[in-house]
Each structure stands twice: as C-alpha cells, then as structure tokens.
Chains A and B, each alone.
Chain A
C-alpha cells in the first residue's frame, strides 16, 4: 500500500516536472511574438489590468490593420501576481521558453527593476510603460520606457506649486511602501526648495491604509498652503475625503498615480479643485486621443482609459515603430532603432529617446472640476 502510494506520488511528481519542462518554444507561423508581464492579480492588480488592457487593444488594432511588415503580432501575457520574485521568472520564461522578441512591462518600478537585468542579460529589448523611477533604465542599454521619469515630474510639480499655486509652505505626504511615491516626493522637495519654497511638514502613510486622519491632523497643524501627495488614486481619494472631514481646505496636488476615473468616483466632492500632473488628458480633442479613447471605451465596456492604459497602448506602438524602422526583429537592430527614436507620436504625446533610453516628453497638468479632469497646462521638458 505504502509502496504503491509512493510510486504513484513519484509518478505524479515526474509528471509535474515533465509538464513544466514541455511546451512550445517560439512560433513559426510568421507572427511576431512579444511578451508582456503585468500584475493581473494581487495587491496592485488594478494598475496592471489597466496597462494590460491598453497593451492588448494596441495589439488588436495593429493586427486589424495588417500587422507590422506584413506579420501579425502575437502577445504573450504573464501575470506576476504583484509579487517580488515573480518578474524574474516570468520574464525568463517569456524569453527562454516562448522566445519573445521584446518584453513589455511593468507599471511598478520595483518589478521592472527585477525584470530589467534578465532582459539585459538575454539582450532582449524591454519597454516599461509606466515605471517612472529613474533607476529602471540604468540596468542596461536594452531597457527603455515610454513615460517620463520622476525627476522631471517632480520638478514640474515643484514649479507648478511655487508659480501657479503661489504656495510658500507645502506639506508632503508620501506612501513609504511605494518606490514611486518616495522617488517623486524626493524630486519634488528638491525642486520646491530650489524654487524658494519651504517644506513645512513631511508625513508618511502605507499604501492600502484606510485611516489618514492622524497624519492629516499633523499636516493641518503645520498650516501649509498646499499639500503634495505623490500616491495612487486608490489612496488619494480616501486621503482627500478625510482631509475634507478635518477641514483641511487647501489645494492637494500629485502626480500621474492620481489619474483614473475612479479618483473622482471614490473621492467625489472631496476631489474638487485639486490638481495633478499626468501623461495625457483623455478629453484632449486631438484626433489621435479621441480615436484611442473611443476604441478603448468600445472594447472595455465604456471604461475611460487611464494613464496606465494609455501608456500600455503606447508601449506597443513604440515597439511597432521600432520594428518597422529596424526592418525586422533582430535584437541588436531593434535595440538600435528603439534607441534612435527621435519623434514618436503616441497618445501620451510626442516623445524622443534620450541617451538614458528614457522618453523625453511633455507632462500635462489637470485640475478636477465638476467631477471631470480639466486640462490646465502642458509643460515641455
């Protein structure tokens, strides 16, 4: 009995290993295989799903228009469960087993940072849609991104605070769990102090917290002219609601993490009059943006694309543009073509790659008014 059980189990284990080891390697169908890794489940799934939806939409559109160089695109998507340790595995799988020619991902900088050395070691171009931490592309010359970086965004918001808001004293409220938030806070503080402003209070929260009154009470006591909250919309909406309850009625402002229709849906009236910088304005009447927003709404049950979705979309378009110019998918040629991008027109604006392979592009500043995002200004680098 025991012996049989043991043999059965051994068989099962071998089966599992075999199943893991088997599977297809690359395609010969003529399709261009591209990989994507995203947080489709777990803590940050809501951001990963957005960017994935934008990515998938772009692939569908390209294929409907006849593909690139006459070849269709095939997207292989892997979920990293918002977990550290997963991206390295997932990207290894995409590259070594599936044989993708390029990798797209991720939104969170910490997971892009884990995947980047793998892509670099395998010499497969990686394009991050929305990781704004400057360190991401330092991993090597195969790593690109289609978004601007935190130092730029931080400076934009510092100038905005001192010039447009005419704030002298600003409180900074940072999400300590998020590298994005900490990075943006750091560059904002540097820029704002340089512009002659004063940081009157620095407090922290943990992403996912639901009670911010302790910190907001301390911020209120410091009597700031405005409050900078570089966080994600899920937290920001609750922060603004509780700030309103505590009658902390100064302007709040933040970065691209704010952008989602959920911000206003959850925050409601508490969001009125606040500002944030982001990659694009969905209500911009440019034909390119209108077409994208309409297509996205049609494809995803009326949902307005947020910044992550727009950047996911652009990451595919940017790659497609590179493949076209390189005339194929050979890695070093493709890398070269991507690095030499001078003028790529995406839904999130016109961009060029700099020597660090970061996108140089404008940021837009939006204000929340009447429950809508109102375009205020475009800040070119």
Chain B
C-alpha cells in the first residue's frame, strides 16, 4: 500500500526513534513497580485512550475525514484478541503468554484494519455529514452483530479474559502508536494526508491520489483502534457489546477535537485529561455528565482549534 516506506524519515525525525526506544523502555520498567490498583487501572485507561485518540486523529485530524465509528474498530479488535486469548493463551504454558498476547493484539489490530478497509471504501464517494453517518452506522452494525454472536457471548458478554494488559504494554504500544502516526504524517508520503485534507482537488491535480490516502488513513487508524481494543479487553477482563456504542465513539472524537485536530501531542494530552477528568469529578458524580457536556460546548466557543493547540500546526 505504501509507495515508500513510512520509516524513510527526514533527518529531523531521526531523534524520534530514540524517544520511542526510551519511552518503550520506561514503560517496561514501569510495569515492575507496585502501584495502587485503582491508579494503575486509570493509568492503563489513559494509555488505551491515547492510542484511540491518536489513531482517530489520523483519520479525522490529518486526513480531514469525519469518522464517528471508532468504537466499532475498537470492538472488532477487542473481541478478536479476547477470543484468541481465550482459545489459545489460557491453555498455553506461562512463558509463551506474552508472545501469544502480542499475537492476539496484532491479530485484533489486523482484523480491525480489514474492517477499516471495508469502511474506507464507501468513504471514497461520501463527504462530511454523509461519511459521518455511514461510519456511525458501521459502528452500530458491529455492535448489533456482536450482540447476536453467541461465539463471543452475545448480549451476556465475554467473560474470563485473562488479565495480560500491564502498564508497560499499554504505554509501550501508546508510544508506538504516536511514533507511527507522527512518522507517517511527517514522511514525504504522509504529506499527502494533509494535502487531501486541505484541498482534495488541488491535491489530486498535484498527482496525489486522495482515494489511496483516505483508505490508508482508515486502515492504519482502525489497526491501532483494534490494538487499543485488545488492550482494553485484557485490562477489563470482560466485554459487553453495549460498551462499544455510539457514545464511546463520541468520547474519542471529543478527545481529538479537544486536543486540536491534526496535532498528535495535543490530542494525546487531551486523552490524558479527559480520562482523568471523570475520575476527579467522582465526588460530584450527579453533575459529572452535565459538566462534561458544558465543557464540550464551552471549549467549542472558547478554543475551537483545540484546548492544547498552541503555535503552528504540528506539521508544516
């Protein structure tokens, strides 16, 4: 699919690789620490949401599409990975488990990427609101299918998923996601995403094929959403179809918008804030969702470019 490897980076990005290695190492070290389980759980939620938001940002932010179905991709990844673990990993010997977990995650990502391809193709002809409703519909169809699929527990949910997700796994994969998305967008190939967003007609007259970029964005975005789903499944140890409804997609969209479309670091920061905020607001739980709604409205008025969007656009 790539005309050039996305890893052939301009020199400015070479430092990023070092950062990536450092981040992954830190993540692995972290998983040996002893933490309060509640904070640990929330920290893993943070990492998973970073992956979701950063991957959606590739579709909605950089490429200028409007997907409302990210929870659907996440569901595909979550159920695929969980089912794989339940069938293969549980019976496997202890040392093989991390490897099998990685296989489960990648498999979840791959199946989600395939579904991303399925959504990416209709997106070729549709724009704006029409695309939004089709992606929303896709997410809902996934939920309805899962709800009726006895092999993954249908409405009663999939239980007994082994707890493999650790802080290390989560943040290592979050780092990888950030790295891949940033490298992809900063690569020569990746400039095409922004070109497609800024002006599709102009881009195609410059020899950029918008179709290919849109589909790539959906496939890559869906892949990482699937990974996030796999982490989520092995973190919560239980999956219910209702957890992947339209509201979940909205939550992720809000993270992207709050951060500032097309700015990876800001979107990641927004994912952190929006995961912690509901926890901080627990003492006033009666007003929590009302405040969340007001926050969305207030932000759109005060800082529509994103709360954490400073200076130039991250990619220039």
> Is A179 touching B157 in the complex (CB atoms < 8 A)?
yes
> Is B156 touching A20 in the complex (CB atoms < 8 A)?
no
Q: Which residues of B contact A135 (CB under 8 A)?
A: 156, 159
> Is B232 touching A177 in the complex (CB atoms < 8 A)?
no
Does B154 have its Cβ within 8 Å of any Cβ on chain A? yes
Does B2 have its Cβ within 8 Å of any Cβ on chain A? no
Does B289 have its Cβ within 8 Å of any Cβ on chain A? yes
Does B313 have its Cβ within 8 Å of any Cβ on chain A? no
- Complex formed: what's the CA distance from A178 to B147 in Å? 9
Closest chain-A Cβ to B19's Cβ sits at a distance in Å of 18
Q: Which residues of B contact A95 (CB under 8 A)?
A: 37-38
Does B288 have its Cβ within 8 Å of any Cβ on chain A? yes
Does A93 have its Cβ within 8 Å of any Cβ on chain B? yes
> Is B240 touching A6 in the complex (CB atoms < 8 A)?
no
Given contacts A20-B42, A81-B288, 9 further A-B contacts (CB under 8 A): A16-B273, A78-B282, A84-B244, A88-B41, A95-B38, A97-B39, A111-B240, A114-B240, A139-B160
Query: Which of B156, B279, B282, B289 sits near A41, CB closer than 8 Å?
Result: B289
Does A113 have its Cβ within 8 Å of any Cβ on chain B? yes
> Is B159 touching A113 in the complex (CB atoms < 8 A)?
yes
- Complex formed: what's the CA distance from A228 to B38 in Å? 42
- Complex formed: what's the CA distance from A314 to B17 in Å? 58
Closest chain-B Cβ to A229's Cβ sits at a distance in Å of 16
Per CB-CB distance, the 4 closest pairs between chain A and chain B, nearest first, are A84-B243, A179-B156, A96-B38, A79-B285
Query: Which of A2, A20, A42, A83 sits near B279, CB closer than 8 Å?
Result: A20
Does A367 have its Cβ within 8 Å of any Cβ on chain B? no
Q: What residue of chain A has the Cβ atom nearest to residue B239's Cβ? A: A84
Does B164 have its Cβ within 8 Å of any Cβ on chain A? no
Q: Do most interface residues of chain A lie in helix, strand or loop, or is the interface mixed? A: helix
Residues of A within 8 A of B (CB): 2, 5-6, 9, 13, 16-17, 19-21, 40-42, 78-79, 81, 83-85, 88-89, 92-93, 95-97, 109-111, 113-114, 117-118, 121-122, 133, 135, 138-139, 176-179, 181-183
Q: Which residues of B contact A79 (CB under 8 A)?
A: 282, 285-286, 288
A92/B243 contact (C-beta < 8 A), A5-B310, A177-B155, A179-B156 known: no
Interface residue count for B (Cβ, 8 Å)? Answer: 43
Q: What residue of chain B has the Cβ atom nearest to residue A94's Cβ? A: B38
Q: What residue of chain B has the Cβ atom nearest to residue A16's Cβ? A: B276
Query: Which of B148, B237, B277, B289 sits near A117, CB closer than 8 Å?
Result: B237
A13/B285 contact (C-beta < 8 A), A89-B38, A92-B41, A114-B238 known: no
A-B contact pairs, 13 of them (CB 8 A): A41-B285, A84-B244, A85-B243, A88-B236, A89-B42, A89-B279, A95-B37, A113-B159, A113-B238, A113-B240, A139-B160, A179-B154, A179-B155
Q: Do most interface residues of chain B lie in helix, strand or loop, or is the interface mixed? A: helix
Of A2, A6, A16, A42, chain B has the most CB atoms within 10 Å of the CB of A16
Q: Which residues of B contact A97 (CB under 8 A)?
A: 36, 38-39
- Chain B, residues 131-154, CB within 8 Å of chain A (1/0): the string is 000000000000000011000001
Does B269 have its Cβ within 8 Å of any Cβ on chain A? yes
Closest chain-B Cβ to A204's Cβ sits at a distance in Å of 9
Query: Which of A16, A42, A85, A117 sits near B280, CB closer than 8 Å?
Result: A16
A21/B39 contact (C-beta < 8 A), A79-B285, A84-B240 known: yes
> Is A176 touching B147 in the complex (CB atoms < 8 A)?
yes
Q: Which residues of B contact A81 (CB under 8 A)?
A: 288-289
Q: Which residues of B contact A96 (CB under 8 A)?
A: 36-39
Does B163 have its Cβ within 8 Å of any Cβ on chain A? yes
- Chain B, residues 237-267, CB within 8 Å of chain A (1/0): the string is 1111011100100000000000000000000
- Residues B259-316 near A (CB distance < 8 A): 269, 272-273, 276-277, 279-280, 282, 285-286, 288-289, 307-308, 310-311
A84/B242 contact (C-beta < 8 A), A2-B310, A16-B273, A139-B159 known: yes
> Is B280 touching A178 in the complex (CB atoms < 8 A)?
no
- Complex formed: what's the CA distance from A9 to B208 in Å? 38
A78/B285 contact (C-beta < 8 A), A95-B38, A117-B237, A177-B147 known: yes
Query: Which of A9, A89, A110 sits near B45, CB closer than 8 Å?
Result: A89
> Is B157 touching A113 in the complex (CB atoms < 8 A)?
yes
Q: Which residues of A contact B289 (CB under 8 A)?
A: 41-42, 81
Closest chain-B Cβ to A20's Cβ sits at a distance in Å of 5
A176/B155 contact (C-beta < 8 A), A85-B236, A96-B38 known: yes
Q: Which residues of B contact A42 (CB under 8 A)?
A: 289
> Is B308 touching A9 in the complex (CB atoms < 8 A)?
yes
Q: Which residues of A contact B269 (CB under 8 A)?
A: 13
A176/B148 contact (C-beta < 8 A), A113-B159, A133-B156 known: yes
Query: Which of B242, B280, B286 sits near A110, CB closer than 8 Å?
Result: B242
- Complex formed: what's the CA distance from A181 to B41 in Å? 31
A93/B147 contact (C-beta < 8 A), A40-B286, A135-B156 known: no
> Is A109 touching B41 in the complex (CB atoms < 8 A)?
no
Q: Which residues of B contact A89 (CB under 8 A)?
A: 38, 41-42, 45, 279
Of B156, B238, B286, B311, chain A has the most CB atoms within 10 Å of the CB of B238
- Complex formed: what's the CA distance from A20 to B273 in Å? 11
> Is B156 touching A13 in the complex (CB atoms < 8 A)?
no
Closest chain-B Cβ to A178's Cβ sits at a distance in Å of 6
> Is A93 touching B310 in the complex (CB atoms < 8 A)?
no
> Is A93 touching B238 in the complex (CB atoms < 8 A)?
no
- Complex formed: what's the CA distance from A53 to B279 in Å? 23
Q: What residue of chain A has the Cβ atom nearest to residue B36's Cβ? A: A96
Of A19, A20, A21, A183, chain B has the most CB atoms within 10 Å of the CB of A20
- Complex formed: what's the CA distance from A118 to B308 in Å? 35
